[in-house]
Amino acid sequence: MANDPRAAAHPIPPFPAGFLWGVSTSAHQIEGAADAREPSVWDAFTAEPGRVKDGSTAAVACDHYHRHTEDVALLAGLGVDAYRFSVSWPRVNSPGGLDFYDRLVDELLAAGVRPVPTLFHWDLPVDLDWLERDTASRFAEYSSTVVGRLGDRVQKWITLNEPAEHTLLGHALGTHAPGKQLLFDALPVAHHQLLAHGLAVQALRAAGAGDIGIANSHGPTWPASQEPADLEAAAFYDVLLNRLFAEPLLLGEYPEGLGDLMPGDVAADLKVISEPLDWYGINYYAPTRVGAPQGTEIEFGGITMPAELPFSVQEIEGVPVTDFGWPVVPEGLTELLTTFRDRYGDRLPPVVITENGCSYEGLDDQARIAYLDGHLRALHRALEAGVDVRGYFVWSLLDNFEWAEGYARRFGLVHVDFATQERTPKASYAWLRDVLGAQRTRTRG
């Protein structure tokens, strides 16, 4: 906080002029107004008993669809440069659906906030399926429709959010929509999303868009020990979370022969997938400690992992955890960024942190302030180490529908009372506003 003597003694070091500060949300998690759009796989999933822990749905969520003006005012009050939101494909498929984003973009620009839309954040129209190759072409068509309407005012675009989680949680383990438990038979879902990304990059560029990225989730993988079985399991997990999604995009190839398991003309598809990016978005939350399989089912971070997986996810000891149980390891962000720079060199375009945040209860959220403070310093260390990072987006503006956890996890800088829809900025909102103000003063001066 501004009046915290520690913060005054050690202000967050200045980031480069032009560094892009923002916050992120996603359509399904905040918009509500489910009656003003087609259903998505998430509507079907939440309708199945037992899928969402508190039995809730996102039919109303933060009612952002009706309260966007108030939410844009919160963004303006925070002083962010940019707002990352997602466009709901099922809403765009409904008559008048694009009008909502058209108004939102105008309101953001009027408030001096740059709109940064993500074209897919997991809410696939319910009649589509990422196991089908055709979904990639449909995504490109939908992307053309959106850029055709918003491209005169939107410069910065994100194709997909976290295809890794959507593949692993949604199609391999089944803890997210569409709830499939295909384990390694889910690999085509990764390929088709990556292909969709590449086709969308082409569609956006054909429409004149020139600042295109993706938001991939990545994190360091820490082996549980130096034993060969643990090292091997950790390396495999690193392939699944990091390399499987980074390397087709950045290098035009799948790691470790995984291309042989993908459907279609993989060599031709990789040319599309590796269309050069203007920047590379990374969502970072925590590292993962991974060891050899233990032959038993494991519950971790709200996810059940079956015994047959070739690795086991283990607790990182000696670090604080969020209310979600996720470890708080800011230095993991520095490690991740320097590892990516070392691995991919010139093939890695400028990086933007497209999500980073934590779930904690309460309005006086000092733990969130500590989390964000630590991660901003860690990000600055990556800059000092020579990684080209151009922006940072906090997850999230508002408490919202946190997927299979329902409303039980609060990631917002702004508290939402879901009974009344009242918004109340938390201590972290004021803290971030002051940090951004200080950054502007220092980079100007």
Is 402 a residue that touches ligand FCB (CB under 6 A)?
yes
Q: Cβ closer to ligand FCB: 335 or 355?
A: 355
Q: What distances in angstroms separate CA 167 from CA 180, 267, 426, one per listed residue?
A: 9, 21, 33
Q: Cβ closer to ligand FCB: 25 or 144?
A: 25
Restricted to residues 28-47, the positions that interact with ligand FCB (CB under 6 A) are 29
Out of 411, 416, 426, 439, the residue judged to bind ligand FCB by CB under 6 A: 411
**At its nearest, how many Å lie between ligand FCB and the CB of residue 404?**
10
Q: Cβ closer to ligand FCB: 194 or 292?
A: 194
Q: Is-cis flag, bond preceding 310, omega within 30? A: no
**At its nearest, how many Å lie between ligand FCB and the CB of residue 49?**
22
Closest CA to 135 of 58, 83, 195: 195
Residue with tokens 């360091």: 220
Residue with tokens 């925590």: 286
**At its nearest, how many Å lie between ligand FCB and the CB of residue 358?**
9
The single-letter DSSP state of residue 240 is: I
Annotated catalytic, 162? yes
Residue with tokens 């590449």: 198
Q: Cβ closer to ligand FCB: 31 or 269?
A: 31
Residue with tokens 């940064």: 116
Closest CA to 171 of 158, 160, 184, 154: 184
Q: Where are the beta strands (DSSP E) in 32-165?
A: 82-86, 114-120, 156-161
**At its nearest, how many Å lie between ligand FCB and the CB of residue 445?**
35
**At its nearest, how many Å lie between ligand FCB and the CB of residue 29?**
6
Candidate ranges 103-111, 247-255, 385-393, 395-403; the one touching ligand FCB (CB under 6 A): 395-403
Q: Cβ closer to ligand FCB: 139 or 411?
A: 411
Site string for ligand FCB, 245-284 (x = CB under 6 A): --------------------------------------x-
Interface with ligand FCB (CB under 6 A), residue total 12
Cα-Cα-Cα-Cα dihedral sign, residues 368, 371, 374, 379: negative
**At its nearest, how many Å lie between ligand FCB and the CB of residue 174?**
16
Site string for ligand FCB, 141-170 (x = CB under 6 A): --------------------xx--x-----
In this structure, are residues 280 and 350 in contact, taking their beta carbons and an 8 Å threshold? yes
Q: Cβ closer to ligand FCB: 217 or 334?
A: 217
Helix axes 97-110 and 134-150, enclosed angle (nearest 10): 50
**At its nearest, how many Å lie between ligand FCB and the CB of residue 92?**
19
Residue environment code for 347-361, b if the CB has 16+ CB neighbours within 10 A, otherwise e? bbbebbbbbbbbbbe
**At its nearest, how many Å lie between ligand FCB and the CB of residue 176?**
10
> What tokens appear for 209 in the block?
């868009």
Closest CA to 199 of 151, 270, 288: 270
**Strand 389-395 with 351-355, pairing:** parallel
Separation between Cα atoms, residue 24 and residue 61, nearest integer Å: 16
Among residues 38, 162, 247, 402, which one is catalytic? 162
Secondary structure class of 299 (helix, strand, coil): strand
Separation between Cα atoms, residue 303 and residue 102, nearest integer Å: 37
**At its nearest, how many Å lie between ligand FCB and the CB of residue 67?**
19
Among residues 38, 247, 355, 402, which one is catalytic? 355
Is 407 a residue that touches ligand FCB (CB under 6 A)?
no
Separation between Cα atoms, residue 108 and residue 153, nearest integer Å: 10
Out of 15, 20, 22, 26, the residue judged to bind ligand FCB by CB under 6 A: 26
Phi-psi region of 326 (alpha: psi -120 to 50; beta: other; left: phi over 0): beta
Q: Cβ closer to ligand FCB: 230 or 402?
A: 402
Out of 403, 407, 429, 431, the residue judged to bind ligand FCB by CB under 6 A: 403
Q: Cβ closer to ligand FCB: 219 or 223?
A: 219
> What tokens appear for 158 in the block?
């994100």
Separation between Cα atoms, residue 184 and residue 235, nearest integer Å: 16
Q: What are phi and psi of 160, to 5 degrees?
A: -120, 150
Out of 143, 193, 217, 334, the residue judged to bind ligand FCB by CB under 6 A: 217
Annotated catalytic, 335? no
Q: Cβ closer to ligand FCB: 43 or 355?
A: 355
Secondary structure class of 176 (helix, strand, coil): coil
> Any idea which residues carry the catalytic annotation?
162, 355
Residues in contact with ligand FCB by CB under 6 A are: 26, 29, 161-162, 165, 217, 283, 355, 395, 402-403, 411
